[in-house]
Structure 1
């Protein structure tokens, strides 16, 4: 380890996809989201982020700003934000107003994490964006515009359009990425960077290196700040955790098969039911997932920290049974808090 960084040295947070389970409803999913947020707040998690996805039968957080308000209203201290808002889907002014409203309601607790992917398929992206360019190539310009609504001094031209609420508020902006594009941009702008290791493991170390290499100190940060996303499925034993993880594996497999579905119950002997090619696909997307009992989880999280030297980890857990999901996050919190 370069600096001897331990799990107890870093912050730990939650990424919630508000899973809709088979036989459940979006209402159930959003109630579970708030219940999980209340638990993890008590367990010492630092922030609770929700992700924007569309046309996904297994994800209830498409109206991400609304769900952030739901969670923030039902908690009291944990930071709440987006992991992320897909900025090319929206007019920057709308996002400035939405997050300005959230920050006005829940002062000092709101994060604005931004991505440039559509968070969906091409047909749905068109339904969202209409005449807007859908390739995300204008993301830097959109980002500049959004930041200027919060701080008009960033725009050299006199601006007659004002984000109210929003203007003058200090809302932390993060860039999110699964490749090097946002890593480089975040570094150049001196913004914090969160990498989606939970579904793009092969690009993790390269993107973090690119971010740190390109980092320029700013009014926001004096030095780089990195957060890495990681799937963690924890249970009392390795065997139980591996069983629970088959729900996540089925969810990704159905995406590969172009058949997105609600989160399915775990199954036994999952590996025997899929082809070698599908195993390879799953490994490429979720091969970095950390699955096991407490000791396995602790060792693998430390190994991941050794590799990434991250400042924070944001934990995702796609688990079918809500009580088992709560238990997984509790086990992880115990590991992070041990001897803190």
Structure 2
């Protein structure tokens, strides 16, 4: 029996019909991976400090990196976060969906301080996945959930990715199939308004709603939101971007007319490329290992629409490891 198969037997994988059992795991202080439309999240009761601490331990995640809190609706978010008029408009327009808002904490909130990493703001969103929202409704409270992968590694877009990366460190996985978006949520700071992370909601859509240019603060000196570490989303081998010709020492992740060993989207469709990004990263890393290749090369992806978010993840994957 392989090590992967051994680990698969150590974690309970629940089907979509087992939402109540999944919710009980979270209410009992356990760690449960669950699907959203973006990626799988590693959930814990956001008001239970010991449970939240287990997230950091399971992921090997730096304590200064805050977590996103997932809730079932705006009313649930208002219990611990404060909305101004602009933030409320954004939430009303884009929730449920792949937008995370960084909002001021409400006085008297019950969230564990570990969730906010000592900041006076909290990152919160309402996921669009019906299964995720059913789970949140069954839990009846906020669920802190970063991506369900070891810190700095490729995010999980399938239950099998979670099991392979974290299967012996968590209590369960709610299997909802592959994630539809496949790219983490876009993160906006509400006050002052700024884009903190490109993601599954294109900045153009937000700009269209606001009617003005969206200020950007995607890699600040101080981490203000999840996913802002310079080295992140890394597979097991070094990554080189902008490659158009195959190298015999590397595998090539293609895009459009550059076929590669795997292709994010043969037609150059950004939505398809975003949905495939992490799944293909897992697959091409395994392919490189099987072929004895030393690097992952990636074909150029245009810096337009979701391409900016894709390239953001690629740059972080290619950054020097700490």
The alignment's TM-score, normalised by the length of structure 2, stands at: 0.34
The alignment's TM-score, normalised by the length of structure 1, stands at: 0.33
